[in-house]
Amino acid sequence: SWFELKVINFNNHKFQISKEGILFWFDKQIAIIADLHLEKGSSFGPSGQFLPPYDSEETLKKILNTIKDHKIKKIILLGDTFHDKNAISRMSEKVTFLFRSLIEKYEVIFILGNHESKFEIGQINFLNEYVIDDIHFIHEALHTSVFQISGHFHPVATVKSNIKKITAKCLLHTNNHIILPSFGTYTGGLNINDPALKPFVNHKSYVYMLTKKSIYKFTSKEVEI
């Protein structure tokens, strides 16, 4: 199948974002994905809020299907892969099978997210950060000058087109930061104008909006502030 990919030059390396929200580093055969929040759907059951509990299956299938046509050996998951400490125990057989096939087929690096920080999940080894060629893979962006690729904020952006406004998940690329959109099926978003994201947005920032059809690149000025 055919994927549209937009090229992002970052610290003298070439990355490509897919409309699904996966960042590819083809030179290293790596796929980078943020904030799956697996089993978020099933976490609402006990509180009386009902969401169909199929989010994990959909999320994992989407990853496996999107990367299978590319020569990928390693996956870096940027934290909040699991929605809470009991996520694995709530996984259905089908989800467990999909998750196992992911970690058996690829070398998966798990970065520790804030949803995971207080517990151990199975045999998974969580890292606070992972560094390749001076690029730091972390969960939440830091106000430092090192090159970093992170998730956590679930960025979304809004643009006006003629008469309607479009809001979509986005990747934010600015100076020494790439902040990825959340990949999970049920994850909400934080507008890039939110005070939490403001420090990472400037006039040199680029916003890649991801829709079902395509990827649209804007400067931060073109995105509604």
| Exposed e or buried b per residue across 139-169, where buried means at least 16 C-beta atoms within 10 angstroms of its C-beta | bbbeeeeebbbbbbbbbbbbbeeeeeeeebb
The pTM of this model reads: 0.91
Rounded CA gap, 63 and 18, in Å?
11
Encode pLDDT of 13-51 as tens digits. 999 999 999 999 999 999 999 999 887 756 555 555 555
Q: What is the pLDDT of residues 52-104, one digit of tens each?
A: 556 788 899 999 999 998 999 999 999 988 877 778 778 888 988 999 999 99
132 CB neighbour count, 10 Å cutoff: 15
